[in-house]
Copies of this chain bind each other. A is one copy, B any other.
Amino acid sequence: MQSNIFTIITKPTLLLDEDQAIKNINFMVSKSKEQGKLFRPHFKTHQSAEIGSWFRKTGVKAITVSSVSMAKYFASHGWKDITIAFPVNWREINEINTLADHNHLELLVESIETAKFLQNNLRLLTEVWVKIDMGAHRAGLNWQNKDEITKLVDVVLHCDKLILRGFLTHDGRTYHAKSPSEIKDLYKDSLKHLNKVCHWFEERRKSAFSISVGDTPGCWLSDDLGNVDEIRPGNFIFFDVWQFQLGVCNSEEIAVAVACPVVASHVERLEVVIYGGAIHLSKEFIIKEGNPIYGMVAFPEGQKWGIPEKSCYVSSLSQEHGIVKMNQRAFNKVQVGDLLCILPVHSCLTADALGHYLTLDGRRIEMMKKEY
């Protein structure tokens, strides 16, 4: 038997195709450089100092994170310019102040309460973005709500602890688009509205505001990044089944897979049971032809995983078990004791669950340890 990583794996293990991840990084780096945009990648996807260093080698100096814990981790690994792209958690104000002592932090505000809280509790002058909601209704002020945005901008402009950088969004609508062209249209739409918001206030300050956008689908697919100052995509480094289904990436561009031991098989249902469940893959799913799909399925092939098998998918997950629906040809190829490689539906959640990476040449890459 050929000696490779597949011979040493005994438990669900997150495989990372380093070459592909670096290709994905290089694509976004080149595009943003060519178009003169600040590339501030979101590091919540990989949560790894080593993988962060791959970005640094391309000249990236500014990053995005989704928690104060993550900001602390990356600051401790030499990242000095960090946007915490999450509504400010008042309960972590001490940690935020400590971080701000030695780093350039950018924070998000979406309410007058939080602006005043920061004014009263920040020790140092800090840059903030007003979070704008393009319609996904997760966080932020709706771009159409001029009154609310105006009230907040007025307060922020009067807070001498806060410098208003501009307007920031993560347009979650692209994650539910029907086609790549709809994603590009949503991206343009988002930019048009954000520029309008900027114009409302530019006269008031007599200087321009910046615009920051974040979603992988829009930033990856749009040839022209348009009138933005910075982009903050994160997922593109690994991609996943969700992005594949959206038409953002092809299956070869997915840079992670979970190697899972086959522990049982049921010929009458053309199903195999894998050691690999909700605590490894996460319960994120897509719906295809009416069925929930928790992962696509590929066989180990040489030192890598192969092309995903047609009509094979993870059909359900319990805590540690996964059920994989196979076609007859694929079923015939698999035996108890083998490994299957599962392409995750949402790579950010899968990486978070598994806690480290194994590269295809067998090198372990660490991630941030959870503080709790």
Q: In the complex the two chains form, is B265's CB within 8 Å of A111's CB?
A: yes
* Separation of A350 and B335 alpha carbons in the complex (Å): 32
Which residues from chain B contact A86 at a C-beta distance below 8 Å? 263, 275, 320-321
* Separation of A14 and B372 alpha carbons in the complex (Å): 9
A304 located at the interface, meaning its Cβ lies under 8 Å from any Cβ of chain B in the complex: no
Closest residue of chain B to A349 (Cβ to Cβ) is B278
Q: In the complex the two chains form, is A91's CB within 8 Å of B337's CB?
A: yes
Q: In the complex the two chains form, is B319's CB within 8 Å of A44's CB?
A: yes
A11's partner among B142, B346, B352, B372 (CB-CB below 8 A) is B372
Q: Smallest Cβ distance from A148 to chain B, in angstroms?
A: 9
Q: In the complex the two chains form, is A261's CB within 8 Å of B336's CB?
A: no
Q: In the complex the two chains form, is A336's CB within 8 Å of B372's CB?
A: no
A75 located at the interface, meaning its Cβ lies under 8 Å from any Cβ of chain B in the complex: no
* Separation of A172 and B92 alpha carbons in the complex (Å): 42
Which residues of A222-241 have CB atoms within 8 Å of chain B's CB atoms?
none
Which residues from chain B contact A273 at a C-beta distance below 8 Å? 87, 138-139
Closest residue of chain B to A322 (Cβ to Cβ) is B138
A12 located at the interface, meaning its Cβ lies under 8 Å from any Cβ of chain B in the complex: yes
A134 located at the interface, meaning its Cβ lies under 8 Å from any Cβ of chain B in the complex: no
User: A329-372, CB under 8 A of B: which get 1 and which 0?
Assistant: 00000011100000000101100111110000000000000111
* Separation of A275 and B84 alpha carbons in the complex (Å): 13
A114 located at the interface, meaning its Cβ lies under 8 Å from any Cβ of chain B in the complex: yes
Q: In the complex the two chains form, is B336's CB within 8 Å of A114's CB?
A: yes
Which residues from chain B contact A44 at a C-beta distance below 8 Å? 319-320
Counting every copy of the chain, the complex holds: 2
Known contacts: A139-B321, A320-B67. The answer to whether A89 contacts B10 by CB under 8 A is yes
Which residues from chain B contact A67 at a C-beta distance below 8 Å? 11, 275, 320
Q: Which of A18-26, A185-193, A198-206, A279-287 contacts B (4 or more CB under 8 A)?
A: A279-287
Q: In the complex the two chains form, is A319's CB within 8 Å of B66's CB?
A: yes
A103 located at the interface, meaning its Cβ lies under 8 Å from any Cβ of chain B in the complex: no
Q: Smallest Cβ distance from A336 to chain B, in angstroms?
A: 5
Known contacts: A282-B278, A337-B117. The answer to whether A87 contacts B10 by CB under 8 A is no
Known contacts: A139-B273, A282-B278, A372-B354. The answer to whether A11 contacts B69 by CB under 8 A is yes
* Separation of A181 and B114 alpha carbons in the complex (Å): 50
Closest residue of chain B to A14 (Cβ to Cβ) is B372
Q: Smallest Cβ distance from A173 to chain B, in angstroms?
A: 13
User: A75-115, CB under 8 A of B: which get 1 and which 0?
Assistant: 00000000000111111100100000000000000110110
Q: In the complex the two chains form, is B139's CB within 8 Å of A275's CB?
A: no
Q: In the complex the two chains form, is A111's CB within 8 Å of B336's CB?
A: yes
A125 located at the interface, meaning its Cβ lies under 8 Å from any Cβ of chain B in the complex: no
Closest residue of chain B to A11 (Cβ to Cβ) is B372
A264 located at the interface, meaning its Cβ lies under 8 Å from any Cβ of chain B in the complex: yes
Q: In the complex the two chains form, is B91's CB within 8 Å of A138's CB?
A: no
- If A111-B265, A113-B335, A172-B318 are given as contacts, then 11 extra A-B residue pairs at C-beta distance below 8 Å, sorted by A number, are A10-B89, A14-B372, A88-B263, A89-B275, A91-B337, A138-B321, A139-B264, A139-B273, A142-B268, A282-B283, A353-B353
Footprint of B on A, CB under 8 Å?
A: 9-14, 44, 66-67, 69, 86-92, 95, 110-111, 113-114, 117, 137-139, 142, 172, 261, 263-266, 268-269, 271, 273, 275, 278-279, 282-284, 316, 318-321, 323, 335-337, 346, 348-349, 352-356, 370-372
Q: What are some 22 contacts across the A-B interface (CB < 8 A)?
A: A9-B91, A10-B92, A11-B91, A66-B320, A86-B263, A86-B275, A87-B273, A87-B336, A88-B263, A90-B261, A90-B263, A90-B336, A91-B261, A138-B273, A138-B318, A138-B323, A139-B263, A139-B273, A279-B353, A282-B282, A282-B283, A283-B349
